Amino acid sequence: MDELARQLEQQIKPLRRYALALVGDPARADDLVQDCLERAWSRGHLYRPGSDMRAWLFTILHNLHANAARRYNTRPKEVPLDGQPDAPATAATQGEALVLNELRAALTLVPDEQRQVLLLVGMEQMTYQEVANVLGIPIGTVMSRLHRGRERLRGLLGSGPREQPRSSP
């Protein structure tokens, strides 16, 4: 069990980063990660040694998020009492903060299916196959959602489709 605990501990930061990007609320993200780790710990006997621990944990997190999202969408929204979101560990410069805020806002407008793939590939650096395993979808669907998500983000961020330079005669 010590090995399982060590492997779980190594994945806390990536799980939290992904959960925070999915739900946008630090408290909900922490709850989601805690539920994921509790489920993995209590079902550690189901983990196949030699398989990808990271993919197993992200699959658990994804499934918990999908279930929680269905329940959460039926509840009224909570309003924070202090009105101040948690600050990142390292403060961004003003320009970086503006870009990050714009990106966060744009990501909320991308459909969930595309956002999940964007976050797993772009932020968590997972391969297409790993993402397909985590989300339980074919690899072609991963590529399609990733392409559509990137195009949607480009449109939302005002960068539009990339133009190819014209060659001079």
Do 26 and 64 lie in a common domain? yes
pTM, rounded to two decimals: 0.62
Do 71 and 105 lie in a common domain? no
Which residue has better confidence, 20 or 70? Answer: 20
166 part of a folded domain: no
pLDDT tens digits, 74-118? 766 665 656 555 555 565 577 777 888 888 888 889 999 999 999
Give me the chain's average pLDDT, please.
83
Do 70 and 10 lie in a common domain? yes
What's the whole-number mean pLDDT along residues 2-7? 82
CATH of the domain at 62: 1.10.1740.10
- CA–CA separation, 141 and 132 (whole Å): 8
Which residue has better confidence, 4 or 128? Answer: 128
Number of independent structural domains in the chain: 2
How many helices and strands (H and E) does the chain possess? 8, 0
Enclosing domain of residue 102? 94-157
Do 116 and 59 lie in a common domain? no
Give the closest residue to 150 by CA, choosing from 118, 113, 120, 102.
Answer: 118
